[in-house]
Structure 1
Amino acid sequence: MSTSMPSSTLDIKESTSTSPTIIYWFRHDLRLNDHPALTQVCQQANRLLFVYCHPTYRQEITRWNIPRTSQHRQQFLASTLADLSTQLRLANSELLQIEGNPADVLPALAQETNAISIYCEEIAAPEEQAEVNALRATGLMVHTVWLSSMLDPANLPFEVNALPDVFTHFRHLVERHHTQPPPPLPIPKNIPPLPESYAAIAKKWSKAPEITSSQSACNAEQMSHQIADSIRISIDDRSSFPHFLPEFSGGASAASKHLQQYFFRQLASTYKLTRNDLTGRDYSTKFSPWLASGALSARTAYAALKEYENVYGANDSTYWIWFELLWRDYFRLLHLKYGRQLYSSRGLTNSPEPMHDTHRFDAWCQAKTGESLVDAGMTELAATGYLSNRLRQIGASYLIHDLGCDWRAGAAWFESQLIDYDVYSNQGNWLYLSGRGTDPRNGRRFDPQKQAHEHDRDGTYQRLWGTL
């Protein structure tokens, strides 16, 4: 698949003289602030309809015989959408949630609203590209806008197709040229009104529960429960990211509060010392679930980091937060360079087809490998939808290098389970560990016994999850 250079501006081709209605289709960009596409489309549309699709394919069982999406992911998404609905309502608009694959439902919705075009986030992954291509095949005019990275691809010190294939080389170029993210954008002051027929459209199409216009942000938690009332979520107080608590719920409101409290408590100054811990709420930034859903932009996180450094000073720990945000960007840029190739069994290499053992894979998913630290991590993942970065690496390495299973199966399990699943980072990390991506050492094997000795020497974590 060839992926064209993303645009940081909207290419408006149609005339706005006929008072057009435009549909904005939310994808992994579930926020209003620092939203370049939203800022520009608000300047173009006379009437604007915000839509989120719940695709039916997300309810399917994958080729690996696992569910596509876990209940934890569903609940976190529900709370994210509830918050987005509240934010739009406060801006005198609404979020229309509809069920169905975009190519099946959005053309009919566009026809009913006399919408002349659809705008959405550009996502350079095969499935997401296919969604847009299928929409365009129906005759709809679809504009996509790149907006998920911290750095603007157009401002890099090289062309995207010349992206270095080693992260360190990429980082050195960015830092040598002092490449900086643009400042975050505010929420648009004027959001165009809804289509005149919105009430009838919402009654026909809406998947979400009815919420009266008098409900405000203080009811976001209640709205989340209404949307997700059919989802059974086990509440586990051992979780390092207890998404069932309001302060860890989805959405830009919780993300903003978390960002503020993280830097207010000066946790950033010790991040590098704690980032490899296995359990707890404060050992890592915990930005990833909100970044993955788009409720928090990477540029907003970076701006908060720089403001913190201006007050408290920079050190190795604050640098490491930038370092990891840069890794996140790198996996996105790799998709712009290589596209579908990142999803082939061989990845970017000429390695032989990966082996796979269904029974070993099932044992890994079910935390029954017999390797205590690995099983503890897999137990936590299934129980909470979250796992520390260190344990993700240990678990992934064990599946690939010790159990001899296909890395793509592991990537699919993480997609199913993680509330902070991100298509770019998930694919990039699994390729990297398997030696089929951009790792110059051709793969990383983590010895679970050594890792347990270094990171859980007294067995606290393993006992917490009942494997020791």
Structure 2
Amino acid sequence: MSVLVWFKNDLRLQDNPVLREALGSATCLPVYCLDPAEFVPDRHGITACGERRITFLLESLVDLHASLQQLGSGLLVRIGSAERILPELCAQLGIDRVVSHYEHAPDEQALLRRVTAALPEGTRVTLQQSNALFALEDLPFTAEKLPQVFTRFRHQVEKYPPAIDALATPDRLPGWPAGALGLVAGVPCITDLGLSPVARETRSSLPYPGGETAAKQWLHDYLWRSQAIRHYKSTRNQLHGRYFSSKLSAALAHGCLSPRSIVLALRCHEERFGANESTYWLWFELLWREFFRLNLRLHGKQFFRLGGLHAGNPPTGHDQRFNKWRKAATGQPFIDACMTELNASGFLSNRARQIVASYLVYDLQQDWRLGAAWFQQQLIDYDVASNWGNWAYIAGVGHDPRGGRVFNVAKQVEQYDPEGRYVAIWSR
């Protein structure tokens, strides 16, 4: 049997159920599709993926290709839509089966359906739960009875904890199909996508490049070498620096690490050094990620509507105030510093994200979805569920039982940047 492994946001070897599906096959072709549609601006001038994120993605693909080569394989990266490329490869090479992971977002689910429909007759599709913290069947509730308040979700999961395990890295992979030997493996450059290279921002707090190798090194540094995890709860609301937060969001968003492998590494740390509030809080944040993912799977397109999950009535503005916000030109020094960091580095602390989101919605009275879309373009660690779920939460149309979060910028600055150090860094 010949298998095509369709990589998406699971760019790793360790704990990858999709790769496990290919181990017993006669041949295996790992493929990644770079869709140019991701870089076409919409009517607001916003693209689905910006240059910072695509740079991190390309780094991750280079690392994955090198790792696959060590297993006797390699990565075929094609520029174009998956619904065109994958059926063509299957027909050309006589592929029997396509393996990939389940999707939880509507656009990605629709793409999966289109790819499946376009495959040659007889080519089967096998899907795995690749990026989830828990297997759906192990949760203490059905998808339809998923708690709609995070605290209730957390309490049930912690009362009836699902099993968490991780798959080992394969020792070897089947080779490519014979007909694929003439295909060129490897990763294109950013210029091949019609985009300009971007230099690494030296002021950025994101401490590692793309790829499973770098992500594993950072996780080891955070848990074992620096042991910065020991003070995570007390520092996680800081704005700048190498160790104030886990910075694992980028690795998770691209699938360079799985949430299961992070939890298992965290448990090892706790066994050796003891659990504390900070080690618990990393688990807490991973539960938030899982909560948003499961709810996006349940609610689908409601996640992206102005009124969100509750048909709310948030501000609907779309004018020059939004343009000034995204260009870091509001005239509010702290807000402009945050937006400068986002635009220059593709990263922003969690506290800063909440403050600038609240400012856009409540101070500037703009449509929250514009901010969510701008974050989608700019963030290296963009995750569809976490990004849109958190924006809806701030706007009061998501899962916040208090109906939204309004941040007083002056009070936030007084608490988190009283000496103006952060503003000074991002005003140069």
Coarse TM-score class (shorter-chain normalised): over 0.9
Deviation at 1:228, TM superposition (A): 9.4
Deviation string, structure 1 residues 258-300 (Cα, Å, up to 9, x no partner): 1111111211111111101100011011111111100001011
Q: Counterpart in 1 of 2:64?
A: 84
RMSD: 1.9
Does residue 193 (structure 1) correspond to residue 172 (structure 2)? The answer is no
Quick check: 2:60–2:256 contact (8 Å CA) kept in 1?
Answer: yes
Given candidates 63, 80, 86, the residue that maps to 1:106 is 86
- Overall identity of the aligned pairs, in %: 40
Q: Counterpart in 2 of 1:303?
A: 264
Q: Counterpart in 1 of 2:118?
A: 138
Q: Counterpart in 2 of 1:271?
A: 232
Which ranges in structure 1 are unaligned for 5 or more consecutive residues? Answer: 1-19, 210-223, 243-247
Q: Counterpart in 2 of 1:22?
A: 3
Q: Give the Cα–Cα distance (whole angstroms) in 2 for the partners of residues 95 and 451 of structure 1.
A: 46
Which ranges in structure 2 are unaligned for 5 or more consecutive residues? Answer: none
Does residue 240 (structure 1) correspond to residue 201 (structure 2)? The answer is no
Q: Counterpart in 1 of 2:216?
A: 256
Q: Counterpart in 2 of 1:455?
A: 416
Q: Give the Cα–Cα distance (whole angstroms) in 2 for the partners of residues 113 and 186 of structure 1.
A: 29
Q: Counterpart in 1 of 2:106?
A: 126
Does residue 339 (structure 1) correspond to residue 300 (structure 2)? The answer is yes
Quick check: 2:51–2:195 contact (8 Å CA) kept in 1?
Answer: no
Given candidates 284, 288, 294, the residue that maps to 2:245 is 284
Q: For residues 324 and 287 of structure 1, do their structure 2 counterparts lie closer, same or farther at Cα, with a shift above 3 Å needed?
A: same
Report 1:195-234 matches (<5 A).
195-200=177-182, 202-203=183-184, 208=187, 231-234=196-199
Given candidates 422, 440, 444, the residue that maps to 2:401 is 440
Given candidates 11, 17, 36, the residue that maps to 1:36 is 17
Q: Counterpart in 1 of 2:166?
A: 184
Q: Counterpart in 2 of 1:57?
A: 37
Given candidates 77, 86, 97, the residue that maps to 1:97 is 77
Secondary structure at 2:291's aligned position in 1?
helix
Q: For residues 273 and 340 of structure 1, do their structure 2 counterparts lie closer, same or farther at Cα, with a shift above 3 Å needed?
A: same
Q: Counterpart in 1 of 2:54?
A: 74
Quick check: 1:126–1:339 contact (8 Å CA) kept in 2?
Answer: yes
Q: For residues 227 and 104 of structure 1, do their structure 2 counterparts lie closer, same or farther at Cα, with a shift above 3 Å needed?
A: closer
Deviation at 1:184, TM superposition (A): 1.2
Quick check: 2:15–2:167 contact (8 Å CA) kept in 1?
Answer: yes
Q: Give the Cα–Cα distance (whole angstroms) in 2 for the partners of residues 425 and 438 of structure 1.
A: 12
Secondary structure at 1:151's aligned position in 2?
coil
Deviation at 1:226, TM superposition (A): 10
Q: Counterpart in 1 of 2:157?
A: 174
Secondary structure at 2:28's aligned position in 1?
strand
Given candidates 407, 421, 424, the residue that maps to 2:382 is 421
Q: Give the Cα–Cα distance (whole angstroms) in 2 for the partners of residues 185 and 227 of structure 1.
A: 35
Letter in 2 for 1:100: G
Deviation at 1:430, TM superposition (A): 0.9
Q: For residues 403 and 225 of structure 1, do their structure 2 counterparts lie closer, same or farther at Cα, with a shift above 3 Å needed?
A: closer
Deviation at 1:316, TM superposition (A): 0.6
Quick check: 2:231–2:278 contact (8 Å CA) kept in 1?
Answer: yes
Quick check: 1:234–1:383 contact (8 Å CA) kept in 2?
Answer: no
Letter in 1 for 2:309: L
Deviation at 1:227, TM superposition (A): 8.4
Q: For residues 358 and 207 of structure 1, do their structure 2 counterparts lie closer, same or farther at Cα, with a shift above 3 Å needed?
A: farther
Q: Counterpart in 2 of 1:396?
A: 357
Q: Give the Cα–Cα distance (whole angstroms) in 2 for the partners of residues 279 and 229 of structure 1.
A: 32
Q: Give the Cα–Cα distance (whole angstroms) in 2 for the partners of residues 235 and 41 of structure 1.
A: 36
- Name the TM-score, length of structure 1 as normaliser: 0.87
Q: Give the Cα–Cα distance (whole angstroms) in 2 for the partners of residues 341 and 355 of structure 1.
A: 17
Deviation at 1:363, TM superposition (A): 0.5
Deviation at 1:357, TM superposition (A): 2.1
